[in-house]
Structure 1
Amino acid sequence: MKFATLTLAASLIAGAAAADVVAPGDVKMDEYGAVAESLTGQPGNAAEGEKVMTTRSLGNCVACHQVTALEYAPFHGNVGPSLDGVGDRWNEAELRGIVVNAKKTYDGTVMPSYYRANVDGYIRPGNAYTGKAADDSFGPLLTAQQIEDVVAFLSTLKE
């Protein structure tokens, strides 16, 4: 009985936390692309954000951006701008907006939209490009919490 009660309590807490997550199609951006509200209602974890930025199967931000604080990670790219000092250049809402959908802030950027699903005409490359197209049920590249974690890490990058 005690185990069942604990399991029920844990699932209710998890359900309540999940209910607070903003769905990709419901993200509210201002005219410049900033996202003022947290996607999860929870603070981001900078250490987890660092993992997302350096892990190939997740964000892999260092593939395009140079980040001095992440020198240990191999193969920094030069497609995007250096991320050194971004915590001074942009506030949390602006950073969140850029990670969610950089195309709203920077028209024509090649940076992926990390928190968009197959909504509002947004499509990913299909069979013509990869030969292995996903069905229409796939979600965003990163979870809402991973976005918050990346924003927390980027906010630490000061000049």
Structure 2
Amino acid sequence: MGRFALGIAATFAAATMAVAEGAIAPGDVEYDEYGAVAASLTGVAGDAENGKLLMNKGAGNCIACHAVSALSELSFHGEIGPMLDGVADRWTEADLRGIVANAKVMFDGTMMPSFYKTTGYTRPGDAYTGKAAQGELAPLLTAQEVEDVVAYLMTLKET
């Protein structure tokens, strides 16, 4: 099997595994009129410690765009997104869940990635290589990882 075929197989496998049993599928997330998501995506409380890890690595990597004083030991905080200090005082848990899952619902035209979305992507690779992935893509974060990031963000209160 060629490298391209292996990549497609891995993407399909990741997409099918990304929605754990009992989790709300990305296409079934209910956003309110402002983009908030009231219901937990998993029904399981988020793990703030894992959320903290996701802020700096993997598909989360929130600090690539946002600065967070509580993570000052980490290098290269971004400046294109708003500072996240005190974010739990500015937004509700439902708001933060909606923003992390798919900020484009709340903020039309934002450059923030949609972390829990599997369809509707523009695939510029078709114009350049002809090898853009087809079909559903795995979300950048699993439903539980979204809950974990939200749990961590809820710890960021004004001091």
Q: Distance in 2 between matches of 1:104 and 1:31?
A: 9
CA displacement at 1:137 relative to structure 2: 3.7
> What is the match of residue 104 of structure 1?
105
> What is the match of residue 125 of structure 2?
127
Taking structure 2 as the reference length, the TM-score comes to 0.82
Residues 55-91 of structure 1: CA deviation (Å, up to 9, x unaligned): 0x22100000000011111110000000000011111
Identical counterparts, % of pairs: 56
Give 1 or 2 for the bigger CA radius of gyration: 1
Aligned amino acid, residue 139 of structure 1 = A
> What is the match of residue 81 of structure 1?
82
RMSD value over aligned CA atoms? 1.7
Question: Is this contact kept in 2: 1:126–1:134, CA < 8 A?
Answer: no
> What is the match of residue 13 of structure 2?
none
SS at 1:19 equivalent: coil
Aligned amino acid, residue 121 of structure 2 = I
> What is the match of residue 58 of structure 1?
59
Aligned amino acid, residue 29 of structure 2 = V
The reply on whether 1:153 has 2:156 as its aligned counterpart is no
Equivalent of residue 19 in structure 1, options 15, 18, 21: 21
CA displacement at 1:129 relative to structure 2: 7.2
Q: Mind listing any 5+ residue stretches in structure 2 that lack a counterpart?
A: 1-18
Q: Mind listing any 5+ residue stretches in structure 1 that lack a counterpart?
A: 1-16
Q: Distance in 1 between matches of 2:76 and 2:127?
A: 25
Question: Is this contact kept in 2: 1:35–1:97, CA < 8 A?
Answer: yes
Taking structure 1 as the reference length, the TM-score comes to 0.82
Q: Distance in 2 between matches of 1:29 and 1:140?
A: 17
Q: How many residues align?
A: 139
Residues 3-49 of structure 1: CA deviation (Å, up to 9, x unaligned): xxxxxxxxxxxxxx943200000000100000000000000000000
Aligned amino acid, residue 41 of structure 1 = G
Tell which has more relative contact order, 1 or 2 (C-alpha 8 A, sep 6+). Answer: 2
Equivalent of residue 40 in structure 2, options 30, 38, 49: 38
CA displacement at 1:134 relative to structure 2: 2.3
Q: 1:103 to 1:72 in 2, by over 3 A?
A: same
